[in-house]
Amino acid sequence: MMNQLMILRKVAGIAKGFRILPEVTVLLVFVVLSGCGSESPTQQAKSPEMVPAIPNVPAPAADVSQVTEETRQVYQWYCTQCHGEEGHGNGVNAPHLVVPPRDHTKAGYLETRSDEQLFGAIKLGGLAVGRAPCMPAWGHTFDDKTIQSLVSYIRELCDCQAL
């Protein structure tokens, strides 16, 4: 009888020991996870949300000459005082300039100018492309991508391409 009890207690003890083991294992896994792995499930959960955002990022860079709302704002802010709000060359400064600002809606003239020449005029100023120096240089104000988009915007205003 005593022996049986002791055996039972031993078995119970072993069983207890075994019962603790899985708990310890679970705890250890938890500690490991919370120590260095707790972020990965969160990141994995976030990544599906981030996927649709990724194609939106390179889109503007893909077509560098694309006219955006920013292009129109840049034109309104920096160019209209000479070239006019609609690009007719009739901005508030126009009467005070020795050489009249170019009419950006005049296809007849702008067809004779290449995109590179328009780009050069905007980036380096009128003088750089054999035009009047009162067309300022904007190369220190805007990056090439913005200047390229301004060329595209002027092509939109004149509804013309270089011949």
Interaction residues for ligand HEC, span 39-68 (CB under 6 A): none
Q: By rule CB under 6 A, what string of x and - marks binding of each residue 71-110 to ligand HEC?
A: -------xx-xxx---------x---x-x-xx--------
* # residues contacting ligand HEC (CB under 6 A): 25
Nearest to 69 by CA among 149, 160, 151: 149
Where do we find the tokens 């840049």? Answer: 74
Residue with Cβ nearer ligand HEC (30 or 109): 109
Q: Is the dihedral of CA 108, 156, 97, 144 positive or negative?
A: negative
Residue with Cβ nearer ligand HEC (68 or 78): 78
Q: Give Cβ neighbours of residue 42 (< 8 Å, ≥ 6 apart).
A: none
160 binds ligand HEC (CB under 6 A): no
CB of 161: closest distance to ligand HEC in angstroms?
14
155 binds ligand HEC (CB under 6 A): no
End-to-end CA distance of the chain: 111
- For ligand HEC, which stretch binds (CB under 6 A), given 40-48, 52-60, 63-71, 123-131? 123-131
Nearest to 151 by CA among 55, 129, 100: 129
Cα 40 from chain centroid?
Answer: 27
